[in-house]
Structure 1
């Protein structure tokens, strides 16, 4: 009879321990979700810049990042055409890298600007490197 009490006590301790582990995982997931929501709010806004262009003066670019993870990207090839091109979709973040659905390149997120990365996801080097950034407008 005594061994039944011991087994019941061990079972009770295991149940409590497992529920604590599951609770910690749920808490960590909730904190991660809250952090992503906060990051979405912090990065949301308008970004603008004139990116380098091979066969035009510049690519006048305006990127709007919304808190609901949608984006609108507008650009005009200055000196080549007055047509405005628009892309819309969802954006996502992994660490400090911003990805736009339907766009081949990504952006490195800094406090007040976005730095466009090359197609391999690396920072652009060289004389024009500083021109590949979109500054926060609002």
Structure 2
């Protein structure tokens, strides 16, 4: 009789351990599913791109263009350009849209568009084909967010 009780106890212990292993496997499978979920974070779903950005963009006929771009909560923008070593300043206003990480500025006066890639606390100016500028001056086409 003692043998039967010991065998029964051993069988129950093994069954309990086996059930726990199955639960662990099921938990690991569900964690894999969670880990495989795509990252849905884009600039479009985040509000951190609003604000004022500044920098000096390269220019062909002067040392650079001091640039200040403000993105307002109502989807309007204000752009101020000051040419260094020249007596020339320009202001532009318009509306902007954000799709994924692409910022599009549409000027109110003539409807022309400019493109920027939204990055962490900065905007990278893009060319007319919506591609980053390449070459030796590529890092100069960035506006940093004011804190």
Match in the other structure for 1:116: 125
For residues 77 and 127 of structure 1, the distance between their equivalents in structure 2, rounded to whole angstroms, comes to 21
TM-score by length of 1: 0.68
8 Å Cα contact 2:67/2:82 also seen in 1: yes
For residues 114 and 63 of structure 2, the distance between their equivalents in structure 1, rounded to whole angstroms, comes to 21
8 Å Cα contact 2:58/2:64 also seen in 1: yes
Query: Are 2:50 and 1:68 aligned?
Result: no
| Structure 1 position 68, deviation (Å) | 1.1
Deviating beyond 6 angstroms after TM superposition, the runs of 4 or more aligned structure 1 residues are none
For residues 54 and 89 of structure 1, the distance between their equivalents in structure 2, rounded to whole angstroms, comes to 25
User: Higher helix fraction: Structure 1 or Structure 2?
Assistant: 1
**How many correspondences in the alignment?**
101
TM-score by length of 2: 0.64
Cα deviation 1:3-61 (Å, max 9, x = unaligned):
xxxxxxxxxxxxxxxxxxxxxxxxxxxxxxxx95x53x321100000000000110000
Query: Are 2:140 and 1:134 aligned?
Result: no
Extract unaligned runs of 5+ from structure 2.
Answer: 1-42
Extract unaligned runs of 5+ from structure 1.
Answer: 1-34
| Structure 1 position 94, deviation (Å) | 1.1
Root mean square deviation of aligned Cα: 1.5
Query: Are 2:68 and 1:59 aligned?
Result: no
